[in-house]
A = this chain, B = another copy of it.
Amino acid sequence: MGVTIRDVAREARVSVASVSRALNGHANVTEQTRSRILGIAASLRYVPHSAARSLITRRTQTIGALLPELYGEFFSELIRGIDLAARARGLHLLVSSSHGDASEAASALRAMQGRVDGMLILSPHVDADFLRANLPESIPTVLLNSPVQSGPYTVFNVDNFAGARAMVQHLLAIGHRDVALIAGPAGNFDAQQRELGYRAAMAESAASVPPVIIPGDFTEASGYRAGLDLLARKQLPRAVFAANDMMAVGCLQAFAEAGVRVPDAIAVAGFDDIPIARYVEPALTTVHVRIADLGRHALMRLVAAIEQPQGENTREETLDCQVVVRASCGAETSKSAPRKSPIQQAQIQ
């Protein structure tokens, strides 16, 4: 990593200041000198030392993403969206994940400090107090899917409430009298919002039917257990809405093993629209979340916050989501439409 700005300056017979100016596109440098310097820099394969640069500019051109996990389609897709937007702005992306608990998240947060110009945080262990304790006010931050309301943080959420409500209303609208819910983990914000959406839809459109809620924890196994639970009851509901797709898949499995036909005997719907949703039998009706868009928008908001620290950006915003009707809810218009849009499988390359 030997070649520095000094070497370029010596070779070009100018001062380091001129080299710096030429490289950074400042105005006061002759076109002639500029091109000479640029040429020399290129031929020397000069690359500015980013640490030295950010030491003085106090900018790292990097944004940090703090996630609880990296496993699964959701995070993969989210990172993709973030990366897309970041790279369009010439920003680097520092990811940090696998935070089993709050203290791990705290240390990750601290470790990122000074390495990034802003942060994107998506973590169940993060609440307002946690942020106050571990994050200096000064660093621009955008929270994703977070219940945090207070503080100087921009919050960006998926509209879980509206999505769940729309789905339950769809199920009721196509004639299913009663809809049961397989809930998500108790402490989970998304799960809470989805449950509220379910309750709202039931109250609005099926006021006479008491809500039925079976516990779950977002895993396929818990969906399977919930399916068994339902089967054990004296009366099966006409439809089940699982708070996420994986539980819906587990539930389908339980029904299949018991010989209960979906959607004829019971309709099933999920939430998330993970890739698997369209491959299960029957294909799963679910709520589609444009995850990459979530990441993209969040990054754009973060960039805005970085560039306009005092700019009173909107503090909160939500991303809407759409009901995707497939076979499992029994309302598909065309009976056996061929699978649409084969997924482009990212491959070992």
Interface residues of A (CB under 8 A from B): 1, 45, 47-52, 54-55, 58, 60, 62, 68-77, 79-80, 83-84, 87, 90, 92-98, 108, 110-115, 122-124, 136, 138-139, 145, 158, 160, 184, 188-190, 218-221, 224, 244-246, 249-250, 253, 257, 272, 274-276, 279-281, 289, 338-339, 342-349
- Give 5 new A-B contacts, CB below 8 A, not counting A71-B77, A92-B94, A275-B275: A50-B114, A92-B96, A124-B349, A246-B347, A289-B348
Q: Which of B69, B96, B257, B289 contacts A87 (CB 8 A)?
A: B96
Contact B51 A60 (CB under 8 A): yes
Contact B190 A348 (CB under 8 A): yes
Contact A55 B47 (CB under 8 A): no
Collect the chain B residues with CB atoms within 8 Å of residue A244's CB: 345, 347-348
CA distance A326 to B1 in the complex (A): 52
Collect the chain B residues with CB atoms within 8 Å of residue A68's CB: 349
Q: When A49-B55, A92-B96 are in contact, do A345 and B218 touch as well, CB less than 8 Å?
A: yes
Indicate the member of A158, A244, A253, A279 with the most B CB atoms within 10 Å: A279
Shortest CB-to-CB span from A305 to chain B, Å, is: 16
Shortest CB-to-CB span from A277 to chain B, Å, is: 10
Contact A93 B92 (CB under 8 A): no
Contact A72 B76 (CB under 8 A): yes
Indicate the member of A62, A97, A98, A342 with the most B CB atoms within 10 Å: A342
Which residue of B is nearest A277, CB measured?
B279
Contact A349 B92 (CB under 8 A): no
CA distance A60 to B92 in the complex (A): 14
Collect the chain B residues with CB atoms within 8 Å of residue A188's CB: 347, 349
CA distance A70 to B221 in the complex (A): 28
Q: When A72-B346, A220-B342, A220-B345 are in contact, do A1 and B138 touch as well, CB less than 8 Å?
A: yes
Contact A73 B76 (CB under 8 A): yes
Collect the chain B residues with CB atoms within 8 Å of residue A77's CB: 71
Contact B75 A70 (CB under 8 A): no
Contact A347 B184 (CB under 8 A): yes
CA distance A218 to B344 in the complex (A): 8
Q: Which of B49, B95, B98, B112 contacts A114 (CB 8 A)?
A: B49
Which 6 A-B pairs give the minimum distances between C-beta atoms?
A: A72-B346, A220-B342, A76-B76, A246-B345, A70-B80, A124-B349
Q: When A92-B96, A93-B95, A345-B274 are in contact, do A75 and B76 touch as well, CB less than 8 Å?
A: yes
Q: When A84-B98, A279-B279 are in contact, do A47 and B246 touch as well, CB less than 8 Å?
A: no
Collect the chain B residues with CB atoms within 8 Å of residue A253's CB: 338-339
Shortest CB-to-CB span from A49 to chain B, Å, is: 5
Indicate the member of A58, A111, A145 with the most B CB atoms within 10 Å: A111
Contact A1 B136 (CB under 8 A): yes
A-B contact pairs, 18 of them (CB 8 A): A45-B136, A47-B110, A48-B114, A50-B115, A73-B346, A76-B79, A79-B95, A83-B96, A84-B98, A87-B97, A95-B95, A123-B349, A158-B348, A160-B348, A218-B347, A250-B342, A272-B348, A274-B345
Indicate the member of A94, A249, A348 with the most B CB atoms within 10 Å: A348
Contact B47 A114 (CB under 8 A): yes
